[in-house]
Amino acid sequence: MNLNTYLKQRQTLVNRALERYLPPPYFAPGRLHEAMRYSVLGEGKRIRPVLALAACEAAGGKASDALHAACALELIHAYSLVHDDLPAMDDDDFRRGKLSCHKKFGEALGILTGDALLTYAFDLLTRANHGASVHLRVIREVAEAIGTEGMVGGQVADITIPRAKLDARAMEFINTRKTGALISGSVRVGALLGRATPTVYSALRRYGDRVGLVFQLVDDLLDKDGAVRLHGKEKVWQRAERLTQEAVAAVRPLGVRAEPLRELARFILTRSS
């Protein structure tokens, strides 16, 4: 398979769905809807939704089974970026090649845009017709991935642990949660919506855990920060490579259906942005 063609096709599918699902700016409150669309549409690799769709298919489902949830995961990612850019956190003026949300719409609307994206994501997770028990599992999976034991917990550790106290354990805590948890959660959500059997689900979970951590390790390699400062470039790279091999091996028994996941794992390891 050609990963670039696959990625483009999937990104287009997700972008069109996001465009449809996001409330239009001519509905009140227009300025909020404008800010939500501004923060989500446009650039962005759409890694999380693409992983969710690919995991759903690897489990034997159709991509369309996971499209609402895939978009919800991208809204949650966008919320985290909008809030991370706020003056109280990273204080970034630019995001995805344009002004960050709060710089364009003001700080109050920046906060509320993040809130609205997060809330709307859970609304989207209830759409489509998978039966109440599947929806409940998916909602729980997402809430765990992004709550105090996941993304928010990782972000709090990242901003509160003094740099001098950042040892290997603290670094691992941050890396598996801050960004890793939403990525691995995306794979689990796809698996659930593809009605994975318990064996397939645990293979996909193994894959997701590893790919989530690799994503953050590569981020550290690109930024020369975090794990790289602590362990050095060589060690971090070797670990990321080993985890990628394990991720690829975990889904090998799923055969050709999991080929996109194997290619995506290699893409996450070798990405340059």
In the 3-class helix/strand/coil scheme, how is the chain assigned residue by residue? CCHHHHHHHHHHHHHHHHHHHCCCCCCCCHHHHHHHHHHHCCCCCCHHHHHHHHHHHHCCCCHHHHHHHHHHHHHHHHHHHHHHCCCCCCCCCEECCEECHHHHHCHHHHHHHHHHHHHHHHHHHCCCCCCHHHHHHHHHHHHHHHCCCCHHHHHHHHHHCCHHHCCHHHHHHHHHHCCHHHHHHHHHHHHHHCCCCHHHHHHHHHHHHHHHHHHHHHHHHHHCCCHHHHHCHHHHHHHHHHHHHHHHHHCHHHHHHHHHHHHHHHHHHHCCC
Q: Should residue 84 be labelled a site residue for ligand GRG when binding is judged by CB under 6 A?
A: yes
Q: Which stretch binds ligand GRG (CB under 6 A): 79-87, 166-174, 225-233, 257-265?
A: 79-87
CB nearer to ligand GRG: give 61 or 175. Answer: 175
Q: Which stretch binds ligand GRG (CB under 6 A): 31-39, 77-85, 184-192, 227-235?
A: 77-85
Give the number of residues in contact with ligand GRG, rule: CB under 6 A: 15
In the bound complex, what is the minimum distance in angstroms from residue 5's beta carbon to ligand GRG? 19
Q: Should residue 45 be labelled a site residue for ligand GRG when binding is judged by CB under 6 A?
A: yes
Q: Which of 175, 179, 186, 244 binds ligand GRG (CB under 6 A)?
A: 179
CB nearer to ligand GRG: give 33 or 80. Answer: 80
List residues binding ligand GRG (CB under 6 A): 44-45, 47, 77, 80-81, 83-84, 96, 151-152, 155, 178-179, 219
